[in-house]
Structure 1
Amino acid sequence: MKGRSKILAVVLVLAALCGVRSRAPAWSVSEEIRLGRRFELQARARLPLVSDVEVLEYVNRIGGRIVSTLGAQPIPYRFYVTRDPRVNAFAVPGGVIYVNAGLLLRASSDDEVAGVLGHEIAHIHAHHLARQQEATQILNYTSLLGMLLSAVQPAVTAGAIALQAAAQLQYQREFEQEADYQGARFMREAGFDPRGMLNFFRKLLDDQRAGPAAATPYLLSHPLTEVRLSNLEALLRDHGWERETPHNASLPLARVQVRLATLLEPASDVVERYRRRAMEKPEDATQQYLLGLALLFTGQPDLADRAFERARTLGLQGTEREIGRAWLARRDPAKAAEWLRQAVQRDANDAVARYVLAQALRALGDEAAAEEELDRAIALVPNFEEAVQTLGTLAGRRGEEAKGLYFLGKAAYLRGDLDQALSYWERALPLLPDGSDRHAEVRESLAELRALRR
């Protein structure tokens, strides 16, 4: 963990290089994409990423809604969650955005999460790092790539990079203001309340005022001042981008927070916290439901099912998915499939329900139907490693060797096992139809992986 903390510290400072520019000409979009891919490859093998579908679906759904407002984009956006309790998010050129688990735990609403994602998307969309490279003479593309890659190597010290970045904070502030405006506009067009951005940034400024020890890593790469927040508040007011009633935490965000808590904290502590809340509000259906989730995620499906049924009795709708998950954990795939089909009917874009339904169908021996559900889940959450791995295994069993090797290689890539990904994709390439999207993707990925091994 100490090594990973050092890696993350360096990466956070490198995100501040949005304030560092060079004499080199602005990069092309293809160069930005290449930089992002190279960084992503290294980060996969070294950053502690969250692979849980509940978390990935939530972030991808909010990020995807915002990206959809941009129209056709040459840059493919990807969203990841790091298993880090500190509050932070950072963007890498080429469409790669990382959000710390601690940021999702600290958020009070979908609007606050959308505010952070909108801000990071705006940095990438406006090509801030490339634009800054036009104006100064500190780093060119090659040297910056080396520094980004050094974030996962011990050779570069965080202190030296921090000093260099701090010298250019004026540029960063200018682009922060632009990202505030563009991000607020993007999130509004996506149906979120832009005031969520202001509310979350005010939380962080309050942390900063509480003392250096309370300040979050997010402030390293995104310096906040009262003037900046006042400007953002004026922007929202002048454009009429305010709502009279702020949004509270949505049920999807609350679910994600329960899941992250069980990943980061002792199980007994999490269950006790949610049990206490449920006892304090015995007629609150949502609190009963969240207690059920805490019990389910900590391996207590019988108790979880009781809590879910209690929530239904109190009038909470949409509990079919969790009841299905509890039945599957209790080794009754037929009953699980019954509930999970209801969940999919309620929300066809529920990647979690589709993945768990695939597990139930597989347990029932219907691998063809399971494969269809996995395809749908992956279409909704492309970086869903468990679903990708399972789909590769099922395709191989059905004799679809090219598809199986493609997805097994992708699963290895997603979990950071780059040598294994290289092995699978080398075998898949000659089997994939020449000229197909998968053939092109594998050929490009192999070139990147081989370059990293040299």
Structure 2
Amino acid sequence: MEKMLGAIGRNGRKAVAGLLAATLAATLAIPAEAQSTRSRKFVRDAETEALLQDYVRPIFKAAGIRANSVELFLVQDPAFNAYVPSGRTIVVNTGAIIDSKTPNELIGMLAHETGHLAGDHTARLNEQLANAQTMATLGALAGIGAAVAGAAAGSGEAARAGSGIIAGSGEIARRSVLSYQRSEEMAADQSALIYLKKTQQSAKGMLDTFKRFADNTLFAARTANPYLLSHPLPRERVDMIQREATASPYYNKKDPPALVARHNMVRAKLVGFSGSMDEIMRRYPPSDTSLPAQYARAIAAYRNGNSQAGLKILDGLLKAQPKNPYFWELQGQINLENGRAGQAVPGFRKAVSLAPKSGMLKVLLGQALVETGDPKTTDEAIKNLTVGLQVDPNMGIGYRSLARAYAARGDIALADLATAQGEFAGGNYAAARQHAARAQKGLKPGSPAWIRADDIVSYHPDKPG
């Protein structure tokens, strides 16, 4: 290509190379779902994650997907959206939970994303993008050849025609990818409807959600070129969903009241943690004395530095629901973050007893026990942190607390190993190898701890297998 560009001079090289780069960039920048999530603010919350898991578990089963093979991530974003950035991940915006009026609305959206997972749409989209890039590149090279020939013959029209071929090939490639995306979106919709029927759930929530999307994009869709959209036309999509949804024998089936109550509590919690005081007051005015409203106000008070007011509201919530593990968790969190680790421990202990399968709650209890500085609770802290991290290995604070607990007990090698595991979980592989190598020096060769350290030392992300 350099030889061909050389024949049309400096200005021509710049123009054609720039057009080629722009064409390929436009072709590759199409899928919104392929956007990087690195800059997004991820949120961890045991209550919200437990609810989402309960929503997707039957859907995954209907789709033939193992629940433990897919990671669910929560992102602080007010937009009503969820997406699949990879073949084993679903990202859910907090806005999708907050603004879903019923569990069924959110379940419908999750069923759609499950359709993308089951169809392996991310991997197939990457193949389409690679094919589009090849198509655009070959077309661009043909255009460059025409431009070179035109320049050599002194024909300005032929040179301009070559530039047109470059731009046209990129547009053809782009439309090819967009067409593929539209077909996969429709396929995900159809799969979602099947999963909902198999699990004997209504598709009304899914219909309501996509009606909302249609209303939001109605004006733009009126003037849009349907061949330049990555999703089907809103009305076309809603019509298909409505036909299938209303034909289901479960269309009028309602969400269980207990599930609705949990959903509303999580919505209030997310508003309390992420919303402004104006938003909290708008959604939960003083006249609203419901448990969700009190939950949001307790969190808002604590967030705004009035922990005692938050705890007072929380006392009322605990009287109403003494077996709610997440009320006890919040009590522990408020005390821990205000330097009262000793007072935080009972709340976290109660939370763990009520939700014993939650790794996150065990980690939080272990952290509080370490923060007390009481040597009598070191073994309890290590036990909870170890078990909690086995269930939920993505909690960095857990490894840091575990390292402190081991160091307090005098087990320096195990403290180094915990630090190495934390660095590894955070993707800091060089630091992880350094701490793991140091840990190995104090560990018995061949022991389980030594082997874990050796796995980290031997890991190189740039090498296959």
TM-score with structure 1 length normalisation? 0.67
Secondary structure of 2:251's counterpart equals coil
Higher mean C-alpha deviation, range 380-389 or range 394-403: 394-403
Q: 1:89 to 1:245 in 2, by over 3 A?
A: closer
Secondary structure of 1:98's counterpart equals strand
Counterpart of 2:385 in structure 1 is: 374
1:201-280 alignment runs, 5 A limit: 201-209=210-218, 222-223=231-232, 225-246=234-255, 250=260, 252-258=262-268, 260-261=270-271, 264-266=274-276, 268-269=277-278, 272-273=281-282, 277=284, 279-280=286-287
Secondary structure of 1:321's counterpart equals helix
Q: 1:58 to 1:355 in 2, by over 3 A?
A: farther
Q: Deviations over 1:189-223 (max 9, x none)?
A: 668654433332222222112658xx9xxx97554
Secondary structure of 2:69's counterpart equals coil
Cα distance in 1 for residues equivalent to 2:27 and 2:272: 27
Counterpart of 1:447 in structure 2 is: 460
TM-aligned CA deviation for residue 95 of structure 1: 0.9
Secondary structure of 1:137's counterpart equals helix
The one-letter code of the counterpart of 2:217 is Q
Among all aligned residue pairs of Structure 1 and Structure 2, give the percentage whose two residues are the same amino acid: 19
Cα distance in 2 for residues equivalent to 1:254 and 1:289: 10
Structure 2 alignment gaps of length 5 or more: 1-25, 138-168
2:31 equivalent among 14, 25, 35:
14
Q: Deviations over 1:56-90 (max 9, x none)?
A: 55545544564455557599322223333333332
Q: Which one has more relative contact order, counting CA pairs under 8 Å at least 6 apart?
A: 1
Counterpart of 2:42 in structure 1 is: 50
The one-letter code of the counterpart of 1:138 is A
Indicate whether 1:124 and 2:131 are aligned: no
Q: Deviations over 1:23-78 (max 9, x none)?
A: xxxxxxxxxxxxxxxx9xxx57x423324334555545544564455557599322
Cα distance in 1 for residues equivalent to 2:28 and 2:92: 12
Cα distance in 2 for residues equivalent to 1:424 and 1:162: 51
Indicate whether 1:338 and 2:346 are aligned: yes
Counterpart of 1:138 in structure 2 is: 132
Which structure is larger by alpha-carbon Rg, 1 or 2? 2
Count of paired positions = 390
Aligned-residue RMSD, C-alpha: 4.6
**Mapped contact 1:16–1:172 kept (Cα < 8 A):** no
Counterpart of 2:397 in structure 1 is: 386
Cα distance in 2 for residues equivalent to 1:11 and 1:89: 21
Counterpart of 2:158 in structure 1 is: none
**Mapped contact 1:109–1:247 kept (Cα < 8 A):** no
TM-aligned CA deviation for residue 336 of structure 1: 3.5
Counterpart of 2:82 in structure 1 is: 89
Structure 1 alignment gaps of length 5 or more: 1-8, 18-38, 144-159
Q: Deviations over 1:118-149 (max 9, x none)?
A: 32232122222445638993258xx9xxxxxx
Secondary structure of 2:73's counterpart equals strand
**Mapped contact 2:202–2:253 kept (Cα < 8 A):** no
TM-score with structure 2 length normalisation? 0.66
1:387-426 alignment runs, 5 A limit: 387-395=398-406, 397-398=408-409, 404-405=415-416, 407-412=418-423, 415=426, 417=428, 420-421=431-432, 423-424=434-435
The one-letter code of the counterpart of 2:114 is I
